[in-house]
A = this chain, B = another copy of it.
Amino acid sequence: MNKYMQKAIDEAIKGVNQGHGGPFGAVIVKDGKIISTSHNEVLKSNDPTSHAEINVIKKASKKLQTFDLSGCEIYTTCMPCPMCMGAIRWANISTIYYGATSEDADMIGFRDQVFYDESYQNLKNIARTECLQVFRIWSQKPDKIMY
């Protein structure tokens, strides 16, 4: 067993036993060193975004004091859902190890698989012109930092 994945599994078990959320854990590693560990806390925090991957990225970026986690790897006990996959990309984490699949998560009642199949629905476009004006303010900001 890979030691980082074992740690992610330990987190997942801890989360379930404590009633914090679903059976999911994650670990972020850089240069062979564990930066952060976390588990799903949707129930504990009443927060639908509190997936293991989101939490572990928040912890790692806080610890490393940067939004750019390039060079980090993530170990997660289940294939990241589209939300978490997006978070991993924004964090510039390029290597992802996962255990269970999204089909496996579906089998125990989670909705991951539906997310992959759905296209963007119920999106209504309004006030684009005014929103673009804010983009202009940003673009003209001399001290802006891209992320």
A101 to B62, CA, bound (A): 30
The 8 A CB mask of A127-139 against B (1 = contact, 0 = none) is 1101111110111
The 8 A CB mask of A57-94 against B (1 = contact, 0 = none) is 11001100111110000000111011111110111101
Contact (Cβ within 8 A) B79 A96: no
Contacts of A123 in B (CB 8 A): 79, 96, 98
Number of identical monomers bound together in the oligomeric complex: 2
Contacts of A104 in B (CB 8 A): 128, 131-132, 135
> How many residues of chain A get a CB closer than 8 Å to chain B's CBs?
86
A89 to B119, CA, bound (A): 12
The chain A residues found within 8 Å of chain B, CB to CB, are: 1-2, 5-6, 9, 12-13, 16-17, 19, 21-23, 25, 42-43, 45-51, 54, 57-58, 61-62, 65-69, 77-79, 81-87, 89-92, 94-101, 104-105, 107-111, 115, 118, 120, 122-128, 130-135, 137-139, 141, 143, 145-147
Residue from B21, B91, B99 within 8 A of A147 (CB atoms): B21
Nearest 8 A/B pairs, CB to CB: A83-B86, A99-B131, A23-B138, A82-B86, A48-B90, A100-B131, A23-B134, A77-B131
A145 to B137, CA, bound (A): 45
Contact (Cβ within 8 A) A65 B46: yes
* Given A54-B49, A77-B131, A143-B19; A86-B89 close (CB under 8 Å): no
